[in-house]
Chains A and B, each alone.
Chain A
Amino acid sequence: MTNHPEHSTRGTFLRRAATLLTLVPALLVTSLTGTALADPPVQWENNPPASPLHVILILVVIPVALFALITLLVYLPSMGKGESYQPGQPWRSEPEWFGGPRGGVQAADRTEQPLSVGGSADHRDERGGASGRW
Chain B
Amino acid sequence: MAAGEAFTAAQRHEIDKAIRDAETLCRYEFSVFVGRSEGESRPFAERLHATLVAPERSVLVLVDPAAKLLEIVTGTEARRVLDDAEVHLAVLAMQSAFAAGDLVGGIVQGVQQLAEHARRPQVRHGS
Contact = CB atoms under 8 A, between A and B. Distances in A.
B71 A85 contact: no
A13 interface: no
Nearest to B19: A99
- Select the residue from A105, A124, A126, A130 with max chain B CB neighbours within 10 A: A130
Contacts, number: 163
Interface in A50-105: 80-81, 84-101, 105
A45 interface: no
Interface residues of B, number: 64
Contacts of B99: 87, 134
Interface string A94-133: 1111111100010110011001100100011011111111
Given A98-B15, A98-B19, A119-B50, A131 B71 contact: yes
Nearest to A101: B51
Nearest to B20: A99
Interface residues of A, number: 39
Nearest to A85: B6
Given A84-B7, A92-B1, A93-B35, A101 B52 contact: yes
Contacts of A99: 16, 19, 29-32
B50 A93 contact: no
21 contacts: A81-B10, A85-B7, A89-B65, A91-B65, A93-B35, A94-B3, A98-B12, A98-B33, A100-B51, A100-B52, A105-B35, A105-B48, A111-B50, A127-B49, A127-B79, A129-B74, A129-B87, A130-B87, A131-B71, A132-B91, A134-B98
